[in-house]
Structure 1
């Protein structure tokens, strides 16, 4: 990677990955894009431009102008938010991703796509979920992830394009609040612990989901994109994770630092249903 374009740079991953890439490859070599200006390091620490990823021509023109050799495609609508407007979610997560993939192909750029544990469903083995297994997701977000996993594989086979991807678990970060995902509670709980000394969880006790600390996720992206392609067993959708836990375990760890911390539950049926359809551990 020498000249990198990041889409969705204002999202939970993008606000941290963009500065991380600039620190490695040089600020002038990482162009951040989003649909609106993102105050702070993303827009002020290096090249930044506005982009709707569904506009394939504008995207391709941008890649050519910047001389990009790599696209890190992070733009998308998250799981719980997507269920509120499935058609818009599909439009951005699939149609936008297709436009981005084709623009990268036209310009000879490598393409990174972030898949998710949402690509699995209730019929997937829930514990120690294998890399290759049945994928029948029950959310529009998950269906979109499977679609793009397959399309990225297709572009590699059909066109010899350098496509790569990871299946991210829930990501824990303090730099930015998450934006409508099912695993968001694992970030919100820390904010509320500091602000209020308490938290009301929308995920039920005993619900295990895979998680990863954001710096580990950023490192995984760079390691995958820098890996020798001849040694990649899979091109896309590598399972990665760091830990699996449920809400009471986080609460117990917080009480070690804040003994008076309390937690109760107001379970959101939508997000709880999504969580129960995902694996307990990869």
Structure 2
């Protein structure tokens, strides 16, 4: 099977390329950046530079490589989307529409879409689950919510097997998305460096290690249709939100000399305390492997040693 991955240069995309290539799949990896300069090319993998915002490029790559399945990860991230909403619309909204319409035209049967907990915003109850009303407050979240909705429409109207996951904060070495304070804190502790946190002790995060993100993505796409009655699912690693102070304490237990200086005294307060993936667990048997802070820190240590 030939599989197209958009956004293949991202943290999830790179690992998804490797995972599918290791399974013997033929992979076409597309990104706006030159992937030859950033990652090694496994066997069975073709790199293409291009943008999902360009419909002709999307059609060309699908036709040229006879793509049968698509993992649509390509997107402009949250902070950049806030500063350049028009380009974000072209990539995150029009780009998703291009992928779905090209799939309809060329007979692609199955498409995966990477969504985000950012579709919920802040006006929620204590537990955010798949039934929580989505009221995104940022442009990025609004674009992701559009992707969920239009994918649901393509599934109902044309029978496209559209499946999506809402990821929380992605955890992996090298993640430097603005506002995501946790990855660098863990890396500094492992490397024996004092840490200056661009956060307050009360800042909260819902964390998912990238290895679980990749595994969950493959599991939902490989599950039988009967086990995936919903179009979109939350995917969680550590379901209860973790404060920066709790993360610091867990790191100090492992690395007693580790110290943190906080740049802010008070941070934004999330209006919920748990990001629940109960429907994924119920419907297709999802279980994260990295579901507490100690396992998360150990995963970073393994990554650092590789």
Deviations 1:87-108 (A, max 9, x none): 2222211111111221122222
Output aligned runs, 1:54-203, within 5 Å: 54-109=53-108, 110-125=110-125, 127-174=126-173, 177-182=174-179, 184-195=180-191, 197-203=193-199
- In the alignment, which residue of structure 1 is the partner of 2:237? 242
Q: What RMSD in Å do the two structures reach over aligned CA positions?
A: 2.2
Matched, 1:30 2:24: no
**1:119 and 1:92, CA in 2 relative to 1: closer, same or farther beyond 3 A?**
same
Given that 1:115 and 1:145 are in contact with CA atoms closer than 8 Å, whether structure 2 keeps it comes out as yes
CA apart distance, 1:164: 0.5
Given that 2:201 and 2:265 are in contact with CA atoms closer than 8 Å, whether structure 1 keeps it comes out as no
Question: Following the alignment from structure 2 to structure 1, what is the Cα–Cα distance between the partners of residues 131 and 104?
Answer: 26
- In the alignment, which residue of structure 2 is the partner of 1:276? 270
Greater relative contact order, per chain length (Cα 8 Å cut-off, separation 6+): 1
**1:115 and 1:267, CA in 2 relative to 1: closer, same or farther beyond 3 A?**
farther
CA apart distance, 1:12: 1.8
CA apart distance, 1:181: 4.8
Deviations 1:58-84 (A, max 9, x none): 211211111111111111111122222
CA apart distance, 1:14: 1.0
Question: Following the alignment from structure 1 to structure 2, what is the Cα–Cα distance between the partners of residues 167 and 48?
Answer: 26
Given that 1:81 and 1:181 are in contact with CA atoms closer than 8 Å, whether structure 2 keeps it comes out as no
1:25 match: secondary structure: coil
Question: Following the alignment from structure 1 to structure 2, what is the Cα–Cα distance between the partners of residues 70 and 181?
Answer: 32
Question: Following the alignment from structure 1 to structure 2, what is the Cα–Cα distance between the partners of residues 131 and 68?
Answer: 31
Is the deviation greater in 79-88 or in 114-123? 79-88
Normalising to structure 2: TM-score of the pair?
0.82
Aligned match of 1:224 in 220, 223, 234? 220
Question: Following the alignment from structure 1 to structure 2, what is the Cα–Cα distance between the partners of residues 114 and 196?
Answer: 34
- In the alignment, which residue of structure 2 is the partner of 1:48? 47
Given that 1:9 and 1:42 are in contact with CA atoms closer than 8 Å, whether structure 2 keeps it comes out as no
CA apart distance, 1:188: 1.6
Deviations 1:151-190 (A, max 9, x none): 100110111111100011112113xx225354x3221212
CA apart distance, 1:43: 4.0
**1:147 and 1:13, CA in 2 relative to 1: closer, same or farther beyond 3 A?**
same
CA apart distance, 1:233: 1.9
Normalising to structure 1: TM-score of the pair?
0.88
Given that 1:212 and 1:241 are in contact with CA atoms closer than 8 Å, whether structure 2 keeps it comes out as yes
Question: Following the alignment from structure 1 to structure 2, what is the Cα–Cα distance between the partners of residues 149 and 179?
Answer: 26
Aligned residues: 271
Question: Following the alignment from structure 2 to structure 1, what is the Cα–Cα distance between the partners of residues 203 and 152?
Answer: 32
Given that 1:3 and 1:30 are in contact with CA atoms closer than 8 Å, whether structure 2 keeps it comes out as yes
**1:50 and 1:231, CA in 2 relative to 1: closer, same or farther beyond 3 A?**
same
Question: Following the alignment from structure 1 to structure 2, what is the Cα–Cα distance between the partners of residues 266 and 105?
Answer: 49
